[in-house]
């Protein structure tokens, strides 16, 4: 709380990002974007606020309850208040995911878009969750989609691009889990859950979250009988594709083709059939997949084919495959695994006397042109304070340019990590800096 009564905290459930944390988020978003673009995926951007009828009826009722709604304004608000028409106080809402906007955007511009449309979208989404540790009301999503192809090539290209993102960050211990929506529904019927398909799938989704014994009990309660042997195998991870082939030829062959083709490309990222993989969202129609950290480390992203979602906005169904990266989880993983360097690759340029400022700006500008970032101190202050500033920003290299140095045109480079200093002439400066500062990236 500030002296003047306005809280300086972000609103409950929201976060500010400053310093290294903000720089890391930005770096991540940019690198993901570069990789998707290297595969020919195009970025899109859509508004934070959508008409409420766009948001309702498409993304699962759980998400709809969590929409932040914007109240009407001016005369329109007065009108609904006068009528006590409280159901119509709002007209707009903040998007709760990026899939609904993608479908709307595709339907709006389909005539001018390439077919298939390879597209990615990174941005914040908002959900009015009850604030609690690790759950935020604003977080980033990062989706990649191919719209307009019913070929398995689309699944493969999406899986490939997302894999390249994870590999480019050096994520290890990852495996790709694969299943098929038709297989899930087929198994529900086969194992006697025809009247409880959704409940069956929801229980399966818990397979890695609750103890196996408890899961079996819950399934038996739902079924009202002992579980069939094959379902027990499934829950124990012992159900093979071969056992399912005769009953479900098409989805089994789809899974086999995807595994075969994917594993030719990615020897270091194992792919396997996981019959309990369900993924919550109800809109998938074909293959579903998830990038999971080994040893129960959780998911870094997932997706699948959704051939009937776009039809909600359009007069015709359009096949589509997509995958979403768990942006916040990936960031956590990278921080825990020391992906980010501690020292900064910026050269610090303190100002010993205001009279050197113009000359320092010129020199700094020349150094920047050689590809090195230079931070000139922005105040008139004791040199001690300026070094404290360099410390707080984790700068390793400092350019010393005082009275003597400017007179002789020989500068010093101070290494804040090792403590020593180097003398360099102005002519040597650029190449010296490149060998010292840039290697520290």
Please list every residue from 258 through 287 that binds a second copy, using CB under 8 A. 261, 264-265
Specify whether the CB–CB gap between 168 and 225 falls below 8 A. Answer: no
> Could you give the angle at the alpha carbon of 255 between the alpha carbons of 242 and 195, nearest 5°?
80
Please list every residue from 365 through 394 that binds a second copy, using CB under 8 A. 365, 368, 373-380, 385, 389, 392-393
- Give the shortest CB-163-to-a second copy separation in angstroms: 10
138 vs 182 by CB, closer to a second copy: 138
* Helices 19-38, 152-168: crossing angle, 10 deg rounding: 140
Tell which one of 3, 229, 295, 427 touches a second copy (CB under 8 A): 3
261 vs 299 by CB, closer to a second copy: 261
- Give the shortest CB-227-to-a second copy separation in angstroms: 39
Tell which one of 28, 32, 59, 94 touches a second copy (CB under 8 A): 94
Residue 197-236 contact track with a second copy, rule CB under 8 A, x = bound: ----------------------------------------
Where do the DSSP E strands lie in 255-378? 271-273, 287-293, 299-305, 320-325, 346-349, 373-376
- Give the shortest CB-40-to-a second copy separation in angstroms: 2
CA distances from 263 to 156, 275, 293 (A): 10, 19, 17
Tell which one of 62, 76, 79, 81 touches a second copy (CB under 8 A): 81
Phi, psi of 282 (to 5 degrees): -80, -5
Count interface residues toward a second copy (CB under 8 A). Answer: 108
338 vs 392 by CB, closer to a second copy: 392
Please list every residue from 107 through 136 that binds a second copy, using CB under 8 A. 107-109, 112-116, 118-119, 124, 126, 128
Tell which one of 63, 314, 332, 434 touches a second copy (CB under 8 A): 314
Please list every residue from 282 through 311 that binds a second copy, using CB under 8 A. 311
Is 75 a binding residue for a second copy by CB under 8 A? The answer is: no
Q: DSSP letters along 242-280, please? A: HHHHTT-HHHHHHHHHHHHHHHHH-TTS-EEE-TT---S
Please list every residue from 40 through 69 that binds a second copy, using CB under 8 A. 40, 42-51, 53-54, 57, 68-69
End-to-end CA distance of the chain: 38
Specify whether the CB–CB gap between 439 and 343 falls below 8 A. Answer: no
CA distance 422 to 85: 75
- Give the shortest CB-77-to-a second copy separation in angstroms: 9
- Give the shortest CB-244-to-a second copy separation in angstroms: 25
Listed residue (381, 424, 418) closest to 405, CA to CA:
424
Cβ neighbours of residue 283 closer than 8 Å, sequence gap 6 or more: 60, 99, 306, 308, 309
Please list every residue from 7 through 26 that binds a second copy, using CB under 8 A. 7-11, 14-19, 22-23, 25-26
- Give the shortest CB-322-to-a second copy separation in angstroms: 12
Cβ neighbours of residue 428 closer than 8 Å, sequence gap 6 or more: none
């Amino acid at each position: 709380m500030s002296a003047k009564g306005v809280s300086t905290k972000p609103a409950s459930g929201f976060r500010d990002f400053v310093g290294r944390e903000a720089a890391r988020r930005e770096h991540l978003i940019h690198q993901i974007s570069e990789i998707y673009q290297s595969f020919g995926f195009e970025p899109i951007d859509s508004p934070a606020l959508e008409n409420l009828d766009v948001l309702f009826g498409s993304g699962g009722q759980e998400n709809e309850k969590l929409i932040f709604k914007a109240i009407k304004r001016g005369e329109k608000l007065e009108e609904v208040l006068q009528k006590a028409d409280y159901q119509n106080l709002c007209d707009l809402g903040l998007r709760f995911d990026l899939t609904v906007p993608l479908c709307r955007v595709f339907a709006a511009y389909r005539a001018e878009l390439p077919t298939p449309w390879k597209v990615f979208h990174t941005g914040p989404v908002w959900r009015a969750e009850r604030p609690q540790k690790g759950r935020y009301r604003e977080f980033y999503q990062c989706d990649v989609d191919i719209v307009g192809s019913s070929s398995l090539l689309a699944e493969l290209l999406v899986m490939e691009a997302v894999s390249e993102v994870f590999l480019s960050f050096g994520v290890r211990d990852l495996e790709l889990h694969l299943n098929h929506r038709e297989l899930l529904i087929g198994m529900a019927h086969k194992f006697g859950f025809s009247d409880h398909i959704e409940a069956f799938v929801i229980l399966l989704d818990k397979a890695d979250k609750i103890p196996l014994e408890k899961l079996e009990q819950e399934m038996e309660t739902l079924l009202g009988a002992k579980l069939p042997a094959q379902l027990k195998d499934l829950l124990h991870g012992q159900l093979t594709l071969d056992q399912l082939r005769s009953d479900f030829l098409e989805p089994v062959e789809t899974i086999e083709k995807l595994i075969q083709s994917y594993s030719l490309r990615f020897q270091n990222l194992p792919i396997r059939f996981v019959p309990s993989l369900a993924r919550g969202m109800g809109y998938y129609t074909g293959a579903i997949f998830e990038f999971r950290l080994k040893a129960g480390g959780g998911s870094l992203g997932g997706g699948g084919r959704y051939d009937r979602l776009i039809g909600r906005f359009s007069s015709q169904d359009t096949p589509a495959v997509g995958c979403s990266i768990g942006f916040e989880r990936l960031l956590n993983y990278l921080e825990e695994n020391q992906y980010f360097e501690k020292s900064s690759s910026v050269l610090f340029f303190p100002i010993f006397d205001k009279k050197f400022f113009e000359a320092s700006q010129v020199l700094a500008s020349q150094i920047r042109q050689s590809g090195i970032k230079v931070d000139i101190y922005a105040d008139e202050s004791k040199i001690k304070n300026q070094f404290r500033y360099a410390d707080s920003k984790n700068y390793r290299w400092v350019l010393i340019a005082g009275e003597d140095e400017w007179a002789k045109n020989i500068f010093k480079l101070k290494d804040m990590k090792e403590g020593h200093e180097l003398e360099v002439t102005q002519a040597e400066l650029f190449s010296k800096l490149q060998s010292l500062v840039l290697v520290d990236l």
